[in-house]
């Protein structure tokens, strides 16, 4: 939608209120749902998932660039997960000071020493980008991170296009409504899970969704479960406690939970330190990693998604290690990298600290954490780095150039939230899915996209964290 025509809609308060009701009802009708904060484990009371009233403009060239590079990122993540020496070198400084990453790495080492029980690898990831606005008005696609574990909202993103189509039709914008892209990551993600299940080779065995204690975002996962059930693939939903109490391996290392054989473990939990509440939880993760079940992700793929690995990949010559004699692929991937800087002890790390302290507003300080809301900005960067001066504690972080996207105007619809126009920033996610069997990549696809939008007053945080909302790109 052209900005002028968008503004015409936005100044008519009566029309906006009517369209907001259309959007909320369409979201409920399409199943764009979340459980309530106050009752996260019951579906007796639900609401529409937060979303924008209008789709947000995204440049066509950048959007197509993000889709085109995704299969290369899938390949890169898989190659990293198979390169034990690289993971050891990349994470050596981090595991000295970051206990969470160190514990994950010890599980990785245990599996390597014992030998991987399963040669089938399933990867479902999401590469996240923002458009960095240049001084001359141009913009370039820059990767924020790649999520290799529990990459969410593929399900709900499959249901949102019809919401914005309906809003635009009611607003009299038929041409714009027809430009909303079809998008069904739930189907593509499920197809990869189904392929891994098929290769496992037991019709009785189930796909186990390993889920959190509180499940507000259950409908996002149910979209993928529904796709699996249409293929007659049984699914289970289990928590770490269930695995601790009823999980076991037989002599062939087949995983059983509650007496049922598990073909695929799909981790929608286990990406944050607070997910591991006891030694029993860590033991359950190790049990699953040692098993014959296909893990999504397996422990080495989980580690491949760490911020430290992201920073190391940006160093000169590193991508060439994984794509020898493929300069075109290297160029495509590298073009998406923002500036990434080491905080390892030594002259290079010291230079990074000085650079950050000199201009903290130009950077983001990132710990080795997933799930949103963990990054550090502005004066807080100075506080953290000055507190760690001369200490290896700083190596728990990486420093990254702060991306400055062009703001857009939109309405953010939230349950009980005010209906007012906001200056917003958009983040584009691209879903990738791959299955490898031994040395053969049997599936490698880009399966869809996700646009999330948040008020510019918030520096960090996603939909699950209560900051961003779901959106759709309108290509311009």
pLDDT tens track for 426-437: 999 999 999 999
pLDDT-based confidence at residue 462 (cuts at 50, 70, 90): low
The residue annotated as part of the active site, out of 47, 81, 147, 291, is 147
pLDDT for res 239? 98
First to last CA, the chain: 8
Q: Which of 452, 454, 462, 472 is catalytic?
A: 452
Residue 474: band (very low, low, confident or very high) from pLDDT cuts 50, 70, 90: very high
**Marked catalytic residue, from 81, 125, 152, 244:** 152
Predicted local distance difference test score (pLDDT) of residue 217:
95
The question of whether 305 is a catalytic residue gets the answer: no
- 188: annotated active-site residue: no
Residue 123 is a catalytic residue: no
Is 269 in the active site?
no
Active-site annotation holder among 165, 268, 307, 402: 307
Q: Is position 126 annotated as part of the catalytic site?
A: yes
Task: Determine whether 295 is an active site residue.
Answer: no
Residues 235-255, mean pLDDT to the nearest whole number? 98
Query: What percentage of the chain has pLDDT greater than the value 70?
Result: 96
Active-site residue flag, 371 = yes
Catalytic residue from among 145, 176, 261, 427: 145
Q: Quick one: which of 363, 402, 401 has its CA closest to 382?
A: 363
Q: What confidence category does residue 4 fall into, taking pLDDT thresholds of 50, 70 and 90? A: very low
Q: Is 452 part of the annotated catalytic residue set?
A: yes
Cα torsion 178, 181, 186, 190 to 10°: value is: 110
Of the residues 366, 369, 436, 454, which is catalytic?
366
Lowest pLDDT segment from 15-24, 119-128, 368-377: 368-377
pLDDT 10s digits, 5-52: 444 444 477 899 999 999 999 999 999 999 999 999 999 999 999 999
For the question of residue 307 being annotated catalytic, the response is yes
**pTM for the predicted model, two decimal places:** 0.95
Q: What is the pLDDT of residue 2?
A: 44
Nearest Cα to 190, choosing from 222, 166, 217, 165? Answer: 222
């Amino acid at each position: 939608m052209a900005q002028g025509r968008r503004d015409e809609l936005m100044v008519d308060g009566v029309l906006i209120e009517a369209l907001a009701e259309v959007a909320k009802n369409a979201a409920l009708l399409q199943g764009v749902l979340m459980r309530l904060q106050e009752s996260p484990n019951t579906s007796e009371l639900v609401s529409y998932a937060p979303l924008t009233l209008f789709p947000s403009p995204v440049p066509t060239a950048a959007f197509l660039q993000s889709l085109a590079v995704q299969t290369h990122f899938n390949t890169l993540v898989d190659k990293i997960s198979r390169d034990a020496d690289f993971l050891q070198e990349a994470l050596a400084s981090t595991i000295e000071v970051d206990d969470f990453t160190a514990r994950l790495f010890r599980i990785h080492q245990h599996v390597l020493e014992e030998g991987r029980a399963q040669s089938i690898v399933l990867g479902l990831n999401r590469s996240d980008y923002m458009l960095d606005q240049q001084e001359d008005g141009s913009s370039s696609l820059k990767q924020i991170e790649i999520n290799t574990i529990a990459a969410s909202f593929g399900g709900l993103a499959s249901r949102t296009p019809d919401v914005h189509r309906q809003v635009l039709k009611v607003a009299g914008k038929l041409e714009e409504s027809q430009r909303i892209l079809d998008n069904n990551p739930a189907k593509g993600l499920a197809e990869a899970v189904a392929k891994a299940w098929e290769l496992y080779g037991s019709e009785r065995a189930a796909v186990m969704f390993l889920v959190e204690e509180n499940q507000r975002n259950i409908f996002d996962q149910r979209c993928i479960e529904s796709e699996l059930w249409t293929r007659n693939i049984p699914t289970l939903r289990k928590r770490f406690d269930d695995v601790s109490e009823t999980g076991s391996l037989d002599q062939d290392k087949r995983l059983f939970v509650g007496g049922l054989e598990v073909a695929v473990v799909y981790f929608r939990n286990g990406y944050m330190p607070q997910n591991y509440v006891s030694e029993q939880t860590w033991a359950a993760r190790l049990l699953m990693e040692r098993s014959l079940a296909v893990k999504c992700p397996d422990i080495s793929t989980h580690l491949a998604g760490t911020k430290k690995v992201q920073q190391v990949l940006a160093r000169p010559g590193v991508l060439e290690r994984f794509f020898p004699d493929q300069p075109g692929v290297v160029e495509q991937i590298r073009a998406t990298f923002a500036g990434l800087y080491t905080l390892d002890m030594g002259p290079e790390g010291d230079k990074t600290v000085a650079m950050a302290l000199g201009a903290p507003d130009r950077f983001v300080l990132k710990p080795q954490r997933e799930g949103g809301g963990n990054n550090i900005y502005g004066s807080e960067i100075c506080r953290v780095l000055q507190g760690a001066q001369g200490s290896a504690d700083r190596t728990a972080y990486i420093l990254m150039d702060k991306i400055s996207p062009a703001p857009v105007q939109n309405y953010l619809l939230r349950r009980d939230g005010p209906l007012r126009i906001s200056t917003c920033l958009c983040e584009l996610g691209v879903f990738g899915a791959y299955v490898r069997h031994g040395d053969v990549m049997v599936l490698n696809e880009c399966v869809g996209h996700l646009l999330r939008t948040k008020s510019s007053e918030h520096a960090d945080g996603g939909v699950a964290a209560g900051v961003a909302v779901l959106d759709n790109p309108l290509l311009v």
